Amino acid sequence: MGFLNKNVSETQIRLKDRLWLYIFSYIALFLLIVPSMVVIPMSFSASQYLEFPPKEWSLRWYENYFFSWKVENGFNDWMQATWTSVKVAVLTIIVAVPVGTMAAYGLVNGNSRISKMLFPIFISPMMVPSILVAIGLFYFFVQLKLVGSVLGLVLGHSLVAMPLVLIIVFSALKNYDMNQEKVARSLGATRFRAFREITLPQIKFSIVSSALIAFLTSFDEVIISLFVAGGDNSTITRSMFLALRDQIDPTIAAISTILIIISSGLLIIMQIIGTKENKS
C-alpha cells in the first residue's frame, strides 16, 4: 500500500491522512449528479406507478406528452405549453441580450463612479427573492392587463435573464482592449460602426453564450411563470409544477428527460464555444 504514503499537497499530507476527504468528495459528487438522472429510466416505464427499476418498458409517457388530446378543449395541453415556453424563451433572448449588452458596454466605458453605483442595481433581479419579484409583477401586471399574456412573461423572464447577460458581456468587455475601438474611431468610423466591426466580432462568443443562458433561464423559470402565466399561455414549467403538486404523473418523467437533454446539450455547446474563444 505504498501509494497511501504519497504526498498529496505542499504540506506533507499523505494520501492516507486524506483518504476520508477523497471518499467524502466522490460520494458528494455522486449525490449531486445521480439523483436527477433517475428520471431517465423512470420515463421509459410502462407502469402507472413510480417503481424503480421499472418492470416493463414502454414509450407511453412520451406518447402522452407528444400526442395527448384533452377532450374538453380539443388541443394538446403539453404541446401548447411547450410551444409557449419556446416562444417566450426566444423572445427573451431578443429582449435581454441587446438590452444587457448595451448596458454592459455603457458600464465598462462610462464614468466609473456611476458604473459602480449602477452595477448593484442592475444585478438586483438576481438578489431579490424571485417569489417577491413574482408577486410584485403579478400585482403590477394585473393593472396593465398583462397577466396571462406572452408579453408579460417575456418581460418577467427578461428581467431575470438580463443580469446574467450583463455579467457575461461585462466581463468579456473588461478583458477586451477598448483602444482598438478608439483606433477605428480616430480613423473616422462612428462609435456604432467601430463597435459592430471591431468589438462585436471579438466578443461574439460571449454574446452567444449569454443568449443560450438567457434561453435556458427563461425555459426553466417556474415562479414568475406560475404567477404571470395563465389561460392558454401556460408555460411547460408551470404545467409541470401544477401537475406535480396534485399527482405524480409519469409524463413528467418524460418531459424531465427531454429537459435534461436540452440543458446538457446547451451546456456542451457553451463548453465548446468557451474553448474556442480561449484558443482564438
Partner 1 sequence: MGGAILEKLNEEGLQKVAFKERLTLLGLTLPYLIFVAALIIIPVGWLFYLSFIGRDGGFSFENYERMTKSRAYIRIFITTFKISILTTLICAIIGYPLAYFMSQLSRRWASICMIGVLIPFWTSLLVRTYAWLVLLQKKGLINNIALDIGLISEPIKFVHNTTGTLIGMVHIMLPFLILPLYANMRSIDKDCLKAASSLGATPTRAFWTVFFPLSLPGLTAGLLIVFVLCLGFYVTPAILGGGARNHGSDENFQ
| Interacting residues with partner 1 between 21 and 40 (CB under 8 A) | 21-22, 24-25, 28-29, 31-33, 35-39
Among 3, 10, 72, 188, binds partner 1 (CB under 8 A): 10
Q: Which residues contact 11 (CB under 8 A, 6 or more apart)?
A: none
Number of residues that bind partner 1 (CB under 8 A): 81
φ/ψ of 201, rounded to 5, equals -60, -25
Closest CA to 156 of 168, 173, 169, 139: 139
C-alpha cell at 233: 399561455
Among 89, 97, 154, 159, binds partner 1 (CB under 8 A): 159
Smallest gap from Cβ 136 to partner 1, in A, equals 3
Binding mask 46-85 for partner 1 (x = CB under 8 A): ---xxxx---------------------------------
Interface with partner 1, residue 105, by CB under 8 A: yes
Instruction: Round the CA-based radius of gyration of the chain to a whole number and report it.
Output: 24
Smallest gap from Cβ 238 to partner 1, in A, equals 10
CB atoms near residue 155 (< 10 Å): 20
Binding mask 179-218 for partner 1 (x = CB under 8 A): ------------x------------------------x--
Residue given cell 468579456 in the structure block: 172
Smallest gap from Cβ 241 to partner 1, in A, equals 6
Q: Which residue type is seen at 172?
A: A
Decide: residue 190, CB within 10 A, 0-12 exposed, 13-18 middle, 19+ buried: exposed
φ/ψ of 14, rounded to 5, equals -95, 160
Among 82, 92, 158, 209, binds partner 1 (CB under 8 A): 158
Site for partner 1 in 124-153 (CB under 8 A): 124-125, 127-133, 135-137, 139-140
Q: Is the peptide bond before 98 cis (omega within 30 degrees of 0)?
A: no
Site for partner 1 in 221-260 (CB under 8 A): 222-223, 237, 240-241, 244-245, 248, 252-253, 256, 259-260
